[in-house]
Amino acid sequence: MSKVVHKSGQTEELKNLDKLKPNKIIDVRGAVCPHPLNLIRDSIISLKDNEILQAVCDHEPTAKENAPRFCTRRGYPLQVIEQNGVWQIFIQKIEKTEPRLRVLNVSKVFKTNHGRVTAIDNVDLTIQEGEFVCIVGPSGCGKSTLLNLIAGLDKPTQGEIWSNGNRVTGPGSERVVVFQEGALFPWLTVMQNVEFGLKLRQVPLEIRRTLALDYLKLVGLDEKFHNSFIHQLSGGMKQRVALARALVMEPAILLMDEPFAALDVYTRETLQEELQNIWTESHKTIVFVTHNVQEAILLGDRVIVFARNPGRIKAEYEIDITRPRKIDHPEVFLNTKWITDDIKEELEEPAYKADTREVVYK
Amino acid sequence: MSKRLTKLILFYLILVGLWQGLAFLKLWPEYIFPTPLGVLKTLLTGFEDKTFIIGILISMKRILIGYGLSIVVGLCVGLLIGRIKTLDETVGSLVLGFQALPSICWLPLALVWFGLSESAMLAIVILGSLFSIIIGADTGVKNVPPIYIRAARTMGAKEIQLYTKVIIPAALPSIISGFKQGWSFAWRSLMAAELLYVGLGLGHLLMMGRELNDMNQVIAVMIVIIIIGIVVDRLIFAKIENKVRERWGLT
């Protein structure tokens, strides 16, 4: 007996199973991983147009309605078939969309008094429109350097960065950055800070005001603070203003450099929740840098783990947990534990290990 | 506040009382040791026959022109050397050198170049205040937190917008401090220069007092000079400075 499980969770007899002729077959039965899709992501990504991949696993890939999301997001239709306790996953790549961001073989070398330091070594990264990508890694792994390169605040030593089909040569308001703290202008009021970028674009006052009000409302800043100066706000309120100031520019990609790292736990949780809501509504493309694995899993569709010495991508994970995600959601906990275990050596040891970017196929 | 004011008034009453008491003892002749009453009388007549008013106006005119020119030039130079490394390494060192030179030391050169004239006076005022203003603007620009500039650039700011919308506002507290220091240097230099130059300014009135052996006038003019200094420094600059610091969240 075979059946197709749809995104909605409905099942249906599969009549023409033999029509799906896979180009590749991967067997991941016996793998200890809550999301078998993660084990085959590299194979999925390397699929060429119209190629079909078949994966076999011995448990349900993940919660039915979530499983196919990362595939569908990339325009890959997916079918999950259950047959005698064995789950078959079929994935076909059908179209190739121009990605929002492409980082091509980028390296960055800094010259210091002690010689040349490779901050980033040969990083390759593609981010699709509407993706929420978290880059996580220990301090000094070059994740912020990569963000600066994407923002155009720094130039790569080697490689290219393309945003929206244009080569990145300098900073621009289609790639606005939300910094950790202290980037708001103290001589301007909250409102004037949010209007700042629009004023640079010479947007007329009335439109500026309306947009600023909209975005301040979106980030949930109380109206009574609109005319306050920055030093009169709490840390959480400051980051709300910073977020509004970036969003009001309607950037193609929102870059966030550890924006919640300096906040206390409760404020951080509130802001994480609101950022999720904002993303769910707007589907902005977001690149979020953090050193906190749990935060990355809570927020991201995709988590990219960075290793240091030199900074490079160690692993990537797809996070298919229903939103809104709560910090105490069991799936968030499970994934955090799983990924933390996976990258433990990276977090603990002063990395001299060889690149262990491989997954356990059985 | 009122308690502080009472203390202050009491202190000055005692000081003037002591002064008057010493004068009563007639230890020194009056042309050497003037009395408070004599000084007050000179002050009143000085303002009545307008010699003091004219002196104040003339000195004020000189300082306003000189100081104004200093602000314009100093601000431009300071803002540029704060941001352009090559200028900082060359012109910046020159500015630091000149800052160490008391401006009255320029007088011999100014007299040779401009003669005993209004221009020499202006030159002394400008040279007295220029370097403080340059250094104030320069320090302000150098201390702008880099994150402000990075944030503005990601929002699409061009180099000129960076100056007008970020660097100058961020540097303003330091620029104002430079203005304040520049003012007090300008005022001191002007008084020194006027002592040596016939031209009816306050410094000249001081010198006239000495020539006429009229210590009442000397003390009276000194009081006028002190009061102008305090008024400008405390009431104008200190207020602006406090307001800026408060708004910038530096207090």
Render pLDDT for B60-113 as a digit per residue (tens, 0 to 9): 999 999 999 999 999 999 999 999 999 999 999 999 999 888 888 888 888 899
Q: Model confidence over B44-55: pLDDT tens digits?
A: 999 999 889 999
Same domain, A17 and A148: no
Same domain, A84 and A114: no
CATH architecture of B42-247: Orthogonal Bundle (1.10)
Note if the bond before A324 is cis, omega within 30 degrees: yes
Domain boundary among the residues A33, A62, A92 is at: A92
Task: Please tell me the distance from the alpha carbon of residue A296 to that of residue A302, in angstroms, as a whole number.
Answer: 8
Task: Please tell me the distance from the alpha carbon of residue B3 to that of residue B9, in angstroms, as a whole number.
Answer: 10
Answer yes or no: is A227 within a domain: no
Same domain, A28 and A156: no
Answer yes or no: is A135 within a domain: yes
Which of B143, B147, B148, B155 to mutate against chain A (most A CBs within 10 Å)? B155
User: Of residues B249 and A77, which shows the higher confidence score?
Assistant: B249
Closest C-alpha to B67, from B228, B185, B206, B166: B185
A208 touches A195 (CB < 8 A):
yes
Domain segments of chain B as ranges:
42-247
Same domain, A72 and A11: yes
Answer yes or no: is A263 within a domain: yes
Judging contacts by C-beta atoms under 8 Å, the chain B residues touching residue A196 are 152, 155, 165
Q: Side chain identity at A197, as an amino acid letter?
A: G
CATH of the domain at A49: 3.30.110.40
**Which residues lie closer than 8 Å to B71 by C-beta, 6 or more apart?**
B133, B179, B182
Can you read off the two tokens belonging to residue B93?
């060192």
Answer yes or no: is A68 within a domain: yes
Same domain, A45 and A158: no
H-state helical runs in B84-117: 85-99, 107-114
Domain boundary among the residues A92, A122, A144 is at: A92
Q: Model confidence over B187-233: pLDDT tens digits?
A: 999 998 888 876 788 998 998 888 888 888 999 999 999 999 999 98
* Least confident range of A85-94, A111-120, A311-320, A348-357: A348-357
CATH of the domain at A150: 3.40.50.300
- Output the pLDDT for position A215: 93
Q: What is the pTM of this model?
A: 0.78
Please tell me the distance in Å from A188's CA to the nearest CA on chain B: 8
Instruction: Say how many C-beta atoms besides its own lie within 10 A of residue A352's C-beta.
Output: 6
Cα-based distances in Å from A275 to A218, A298, A307, A330: 10, 11, 26, 20
Closest C-alpha to B56, from B184, B225, B196, B195: B225
pLDDT surpasses 50 at A13: no
Can you read off the two tokens belonging to residue A4?
């197709």
Task: Please tell me the distance from the alpha carbon of residue A161 to that of residue A101, in angstroms, as a whole number.
Answer: 7
Structural domain containing residue A52: 2-92
Task: Please tell me the distance from the alpha carbon of residue A25 to that of residue A53, in angstroms, as a whole number.
Answer: 6
Domain boundary among the residues A36, A65, A92 is at: A92
Calculate mean pLDDT across residues A49-77: 61
Task: Please tell me the distance from the alpha carbon of residue B13 to that of residue B7, in angstroms, as a whole number.
Answer: 10
pLDDT surpasses 90 at B176: yes
Which of B143, B149, B153, B154 to mutate against chain A (most A CBs within 10 Å)? B154
Cα-based distances in Å from B219 to A78, B43, B196, B205: 97, 9, 18, 11
Pairing outcome for strands A2-5 and A78-83: antiparallel
pLDDT band, very low/low/confident/very high, at B1 (cuts 50, 70, 90): low
pLDDT band, very low/low/confident/very high, at A81 (cuts 50, 70, 90): confident
Cβ pair B150:A153 closer than 8 A: yes
* The total number of structural domains that make up chain A: 2
Please tell me the distance in Å from B146's CA to the nearest CA on chain A: 9
Task: Please tell me the distance from the alpha carbon of residue B186 to that of residue B178, in angstroms, as a whole number.
Answer: 12
Same domain, A115 and A21: no
